Structure 1
Amino acid sequence: MFRDRTDAGRELLARLQAYRGDEVVVLGLPRGGVPVAAVIADGLGAPLDVVVVRKLGLPGQPEVAMGAIGEGGVRVVDDEIVRRARVGGDRFDEVERRELETLERRIAGLRAGRAPVPLRDRTALVVDDGIATGATAEAACRVARARGAHRVVLAVPVAPKDAAVRVPAADEVVAAEVPDWFMAVGQAYADFRQVDDAEVLALLEAARCTDDDASAPG
């Protein structure tokens, strides 16, 4: 069990040393993935950015993803969950419209007028605090691919054994723990408190200052 997301980031970083010195950009999924990603970006000496996605929660069970949407019009639908839950088109569209509005607000707030870190011909390390259904991770990997990343690696502290099947857009999935008992991401953490936008923005700003210092003339 991880103490918190920072501890999880350290555990995951140990499995990502092959990417040190590579043309890597670390992309955290807000909100919970960003504290994990910040540890990895700092440890690898890589730039940190976000990839903004929103889960499309099942009506009545919003914690269960029936799909996800992401920057640039990316859209993922879990047809099997939609079918089993008997979610009609109107109900699905209602959820999607609501989450799209939230997505646009989150992009504006987290980007704060800054352009995304360029990904063309680089390796994108997409980082979250864990994988459940895989819908949001799949959307995030598709966003990275659409932005020109030549390789997309999904890195998470905890994942189910079939994570690679759930996230086919990733060229590779790296997980610190793949437990037999996996039920929910939060079960892998002693402290799984909610992360707010202020913390995400502070981590992004700290990473930008570090990058600016590293690139400044000596």
Structure 2
Amino acid sequence: MTTYRDRNEAGRVLADRLTALIGEPDVVVLGLVRGGVPVAQVVAERLGAPLDVLVVRKLGMPWAPEVAFGALGPAGVRVLNDVVAGQLSSADMADVQRREQAELDRREQLYRAGRGPLELTGRTAVIVDDGLATGATARAAVAVARQLGARRVLVAVPVGAQDAYETLSGEADQVICAQRPEAFTAVGAYYDDFHEVSDDEVTEALAASA
């Protein structure tokens, strides 16, 4: 099991797995906000592809926010883990969704600054995150990309849990995961530097790639 120094190094390792896409004219790299954006920036530069972001919010259990019962994305997309969500009342679920929808809307407005999303119709969308734990966020991102008309949807991550990888493989056209540790714990355990990515880092990455 390899530990990445930071998200930039993880992006370089991941980009090495995606070299078959270099030169394809219809590829767009979509970083999952916020932690996936620095990884996606490195991948986009290596592939010579445009970079954009997908704002997707995990829906966490009220008493254990790190445990996801689903996720929200733009364009009204919602993905639920029915087994986990079944532990919640309708009122609790609605409360979490209202809060996360408000944050999703705030980030969309901040990061886009009036820009519309990149045109995905007929294109290959490469969705990049810094890791795959439950897979709920990535599943929402796949649904968003398909709803926006992507012809092919790939998910690329430096590290991920085997069960999440298998579930996601049934929904994305391809999942590229550089590492799938047998005893997966948490994404941050596989990075020396796993600081919380700021809004400024996201907007700077988008500006640099414009």
Match of 1:170? Answer: 172
Q: Is the 8 A contact 1:164 1:172 kept in 2?
A: no
Structure 1 residues 71 and 57: alpha-carbon distance in aligned structure 2, compared to 1, 3 A threshold:
same
Equivalent pairs: percent with the same residue? 54
Identify unmatched segments of 5+ residues in structure 1. Answer: 209-218
Match of 1:50? Answer: 53
SS in 2 for 1:200: helix
Identify unmatched segments of 5+ residues in structure 2. Answer: none
Q: Residue deviations 1:23-45, cap 9 Å, x none?
A: 20000011000000000000000
How far is 1:110 from its partner?
A: 0.7
Match of 1:89? Answer: 90
| Pairing 1:200–2:205 present | no
Q: Residue deviations 1:127-158, cap 9 Å, x none?
A: 00001111110001111111111000000000
How far is 1:82 from its partner?
A: 2.0
RMSD: 0.9
Q: Distance in 2 between matches of 1:164 and 1:179?
A: 11
Q: Distance in 2 between matches of 1:7 and 1:165?
A: 25
Q: Residue deviations 1:63-121, cap 9 Å, x none?
A: 111100001000001111123xx211110110001101111111101111011111111
| Pairing 1:189–2:157 present | no
TM-score by length of 1: 0.92
Match of 2:83? Answer: 80
SS in 2 for 1:153: strand
Q: Residue deviations 1:42-64, cap 9 Å, x none?
A: 00000000011100011111111
How far is 1:163 from its partner?
A: 3.2
| Pairing 1:153–2:130 present | no
**Equivalent pairs, count:** 206
How far is 1:164 from its partner?
A: 3.9
Q: Distance in 2 between matches of 1:12 and 1:163?
A: 18
Structure 1, 68-77 or 177-186: larger mean CA deviation: 177-186
SS in 2 for 1:71: coil
Q: Is the 8 A contact 2:60 2:67 kept in 1?
A: yes
Q: Distance in 2 between matches of 1:162 and 1:44?
A: 28
TM-score by length of 2: 0.96
